[in-house]
């Protein structure tokens, strides 16, 4: 009996020892900080030259400095859209000189707000003033623009932007009766903006303005391409005008950061009417059907606060063919964007 009773006691003792060992092991494990491995995400602002993170199996040394992720320096184009959604306020001014003493001034105030990391909404208001060599000229406002942009990052160095905008047909020079001075002013404003903002200057038409941008951004270099296909439907004006007009806009941009605070950029742009408005079809010389321009300049990058960067730029644009080359167009472009 005594021997039989000792067996349960021995088993109980083994269990107690085993249990104590487990408690001690758990306590030792809890005293060591855990290192969680998080999935690394590619952000819309990451540079392709950013160094890769160390594998989780390699412990970090306390003496080793932590690697800081580098941010791509993106060269903002002159008239192409920013490739990714941004929050900014921008005052864009074009001063076009043509013929003998002719001047057209176009001022654009735009605001964009990034509501989520990949989506932004924007609005643009444009004022214009034309002073021709002869005649009274005109001052007024163009069609307002509202729109949205989506941004994607297929690869670390590649950015993709999708744009969709709409114009409100309330601009100067539309409706009945027609004002010849105002009609000429909006046509001159088209040339002052190199044909890349034409939906803003078709006051009788409601425009649906889709576009796509692709950019390669790395090591301070930016190469960007843009395609837009605005389609405009007549909502007022003479019934003899075409009910629908459309154009193709093609552009490329190349920019490079000479210093962190200074970059140089070049735009090459081509615009062609696919279904032309009345003033283009009335042109027997056919020089108004397309427009090719080049623009080159420099941009500064000034950190105002931790969250606000001012990127003022100065550039010159020229026509490479008619109608701008034939009229000796020279466009001074002063761009004042505040990005936050």
Query: Residue 171 burial by CB count (10 A; 0-12/13-18/19+): exposed, middle or buried?
Result: buried
Cβ 101 vs Cβ 76: under 8 Å? no
pLDDT class of 66 with cuts at 50, 70, 90? low
Cβ 319 vs Cβ 335: under 8 Å? no
Q: Note the pLDDT of residue 156.
A: 87
Q: What is the separation, in whole angstroms, between the first and last Cα of the chain?
A: 87
Q: Note the pLDDT of residue 157.
A: 92
CA 181, CA 191: separation in Å to the nearest integer?
Answer: 16
Element at 115 (helix H, strand E): strand 102-116
Q: Note the pLDDT of residue 36.
A: 38
Instruction: Look at residue 3 and tell me whether its pLDDT is greater than 50.
Output: no
pLDDT class of 59 with cuts at 50, 70, 90? low
Q: Note the pLDDT of residue 28.
A: 39
Instruction: Look at residue 92 and tell me whether its pLDDT is greater than 60.
Output: yes
Instruction: Look at residue 40 and tell me whether its pLDDT is greater than 80.
Output: no
Degrees (nearest 5) of the Cα angle 102, 106, 110?
A: 175
Which bin fits 195, alpha (ψ -120 to 50), beta or left (φ > 0)? left
What average pLDDT score do residues 163-182 get? 94
CA 334, CA 314: separation in Å to the nearest integer?
Answer: 5
For 114, the token pair is: 């990034």
Instruction: Look at residue 297 and tell me whether its pLDDT is greater than 70.
Output: yes
What average pLDDT score do residues 198-204 get? 97
CA 37, CA 57: separation in Å to the nearest integer?
Answer: 10
Cβ 244 vs Cβ 251: under 8 Å? no
Tell me the per-residue pLDDT of 222-244, one tens digit each, with 9 for 90 and over: 999 999 999 999 999 999 999 99
Secondary structure percentages of the chain, helix, strand, coil, to 5? 15, 45, 40
Tell me the per-residue pLDDT of 129-163, one tens digit each, with 9 for 90 and over: 999 999 889 999 999 999 999 999 999 899 999 99
Instruction: Look at residue 23 and tell me whether its pLDDT is greater than 50.
Output: no
Q: Note the pLDDT of residue 16.
A: 41
φ, ψ (nearest 5 deg) of residue 201: -115, 30
Number of C-beta neighbours around residue 307 at 10 A: 9
Give 98's strand partners: 102
Above pLDDT 90, what percent of the chain? 76
Above pLDDT 70, what percent of the chain? 79
What average pLDDT score do residues 160-177 get? 96
0.85 exceeded by pTM: no
Domains of the chain: 88-339 (2.40.160.40)
pLDDT class of 74 with cuts at 50, 70, 90? very high
Q: Note the pLDDT of residue 150.
A: 98
Q: Note the pLDDT of residue 135.
A: 86
What average pLDDT score do residues 178-183 get? 92
* CA-closest candidate to residue 331, choices 60, 162, 105: 105
């Amino acid at each position: 009996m005594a021997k039989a009773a000792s067996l349960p006691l021995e088993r109980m003792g083994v269990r107690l020892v085993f249990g104590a060992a487990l408690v001690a092991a758990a306590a030792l494990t809890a005293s060591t900080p855990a290192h969680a491995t998080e999935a690394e995400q590619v952000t819309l602002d990451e540079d392709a030259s950013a160094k890769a993170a160390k594998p989780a199996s390699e412990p970090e040394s306390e003496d080793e400095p932590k690697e800081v992720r580098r941010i791509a320096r993106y060269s903002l184009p002159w008239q192409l859209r920013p490739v990714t959604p941004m929050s900014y306020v921008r005052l864009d001014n074009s001063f076009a000189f043509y013929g003998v003493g002719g001047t057209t001034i176009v001022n654009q105030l735009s605001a964009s707000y990034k509501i989520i990391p990949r989506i932004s909404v924007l609005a643009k208001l444009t004022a214009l003033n034309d002073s021709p060599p002869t005649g009274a000229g005109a001052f007024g406002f163009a069609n307002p623009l509202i729109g949205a942009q989506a941004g994607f990052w297929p690869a670390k160095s590649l950015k993709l932007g999708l744009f969709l905008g709409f114009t409100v047909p309330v601009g100067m020079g539309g409706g009945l009766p027609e004002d010849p001075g105002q009609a000429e002013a909006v046509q001159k404003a088209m040339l002052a903006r190199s044909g890349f903002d034409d939906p803003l200057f078709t006051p009788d038409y409601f425009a649906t303005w889709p576009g796509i941008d692709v950019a390669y951004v790395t090591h301070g270099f930016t190469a960007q391409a843009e395609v837009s296909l605005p389609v405009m439907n007549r909502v007022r004006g003479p019934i003899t005008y075409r009910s629908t007009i459309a154009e193709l806009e093609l552009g490329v941009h190349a920019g490079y950061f000479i210093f962190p605070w200074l970059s140089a950029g070049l735009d090459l742009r081509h615009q062609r009417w696919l279904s032309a408005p009345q003033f283009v079809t009335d042109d027997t010389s056919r020089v108004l059907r397309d427009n090719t321009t080049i623009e080159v300049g420099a941009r500064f990058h000034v950190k105002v606060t931790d969250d606000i960067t001012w990127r003022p730029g100065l550039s010159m644009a020229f026509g490479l063919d008619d109608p701008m080359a034939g009229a000796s167009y020279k466009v001074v472009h002063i761009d004042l964007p505040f990005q936050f």
